[in-house]
Structure 1
Amino acid sequence: MLANPPFAGSLDYESCAKDLLQIVKTKKTELLFLTLFLRLLKPASRGCPKGFNERTAQSFCVPKSDIVEQGYDLSINRYKEVVHEEVDHRPPQVILSELEK
């Protein structure tokens, strides 16, 4: 089963499925999603393809220990690594002189 979970947010208790609230009493969308996902999985099935993508990729796996360490906060910014590429720009004077021509 594949799905794109909400990474952060909250709902009103009134708009949450009552059967999910019986399992986990929370308004956090990411925890409600996990509860639903686990309920829908069949025994011995997987919630996502096992992968070894780097944390800079669009999708990647996170060890459970990391999630526990973050207090079960599923905000992607807690786990995704951002790589800043150095960009070599031309000096402003060169650009201005080209524009003048």
Structure 2
Amino acid sequence: MKKHFSFDPRLGISIPDITMEWAQYSDETQQAILFHWEQIRGSIPDRIADLEELINQKQAQLSNESNFKTSCELNSEIADLASIINDLWLWYRANQTVSDKMHQ
């Protein structure tokens, strides 16, 4: 499956890396890809929860921070983490139809 997925270090998950039209893959390969994606997709909520915990920690640091530069850095880190969460939810939801195909 490694050739059909690539690890995205920013997101912390592997994402589909499909190089051909879906219909060009054999039924067996399609099922293997869908099964592997469903496993990855199932881990996304846990990944999001981990990132939310990091955001909470940084917000707690921010509430006690008096240095302006450090406050700006923490705000930037929080924004980056929120952006990752948003992208993970997009992957989770956008590929719901792919997961639905598995159950047909």
Which range, TM-score by smaller chain? under 0.3
Greater percentage in strand: 2
Which is bigger in relative contact order (C-alpha 8 A, separation at least 6)? Answer: 2
TM-score in terms of structure 1 length = 0.26
TM-score in terms of structure 2 length = 0.26
Greater percentage in helix: 2
